[in-house]
Structure 1
Amino acid sequence: MQIVELPLLAGLGMMAGAVIYTSFVEIPVRQKLDAERQLQNWQLVFPVASGFLKPFGIGLFPLLVIVGFVSGNWLWGVSALLLIAIQPFTAMFISKTNDILIGEKPKDASAAIPPLIRKWDRLHHVRTALISSSLFCALTAHFQTL
């Protein structure tokens, strides 16, 4: 089982690392910039991060479920639920903000942009908590079987 668990943990760890970096490095630095540069930074980072996190989350979810069923450890299932919860959370609370920020031109950035980016930042912290909690549950499940 460890042959599946270790890559799963590595994938979750990379996702957690990416969102933690965004929450505690990128976001504080971005908030120090003017509206135009905040938007430029967000628009530069967003497609790369989205292109990495979405497929990883969707790909890891079924593996977490399978490991949970095979191992009989319910913490793998909790990890899977926390991870997949990011999808509806993003769709319900973040997508509208993403669409607005994607559609804006940095040179036309107004005073309305920084509050939108701060809103996105706060919502991103929820995703950071979900992914980090998913990793914690998976690590706990893994170490229970050693």
Structure 2
Amino acid sequence: MKIIKAISEQLIIKELAQAEFEQAYPLVHQLRQALPLTDFLSVTAQMQGYRAFVLMDSDKADKIVAYAGFAEQLNLYEGRHIFVYELVTDEVVRSQGYGKMLLSALTEEGKRLGCEMLVLTSGLQRVDAHRFYENNGLTKTSFVFRKEL
């Protein structure tokens, strides 16, 4: 694990190496409940540029309390941007500012990389998450449409 930012003596944001992703799986599973560990490890290893930041709390036995999976991307409509695939705080410690701290670290990383935007998608049913994103400076700009093949 590489330290990204020490927020306090108690709270540290670290970047996981691919070999360490399994440590974060219990938290990722809270968000992606249908995703087995083997698929999580296999798919993230294949994703172009996938990275993971975690927020660890030493008061909770160095437990990972928040997780962000993301990648730097480039496309025609967002330009160079950080795309956040997962942003999840442990359900037992939500609303304590952990997600905000991790989102701030992602914003700083995007700026460091020369990105113009931070982008994520969120399911329509996740009303509390939408409120969190809007309270932290993100705006709703589109819908995502899908079709099974």
| TM-score, length-scaled by structure 2 | 0.26
Q: Give the structure with the larger helix fraction.
A: 1
Larger Rg, first or second structure (1 or 2): 1
- Higher relative CO (CA 8 A, sep ≥ 6), structure 1 or 2? 1
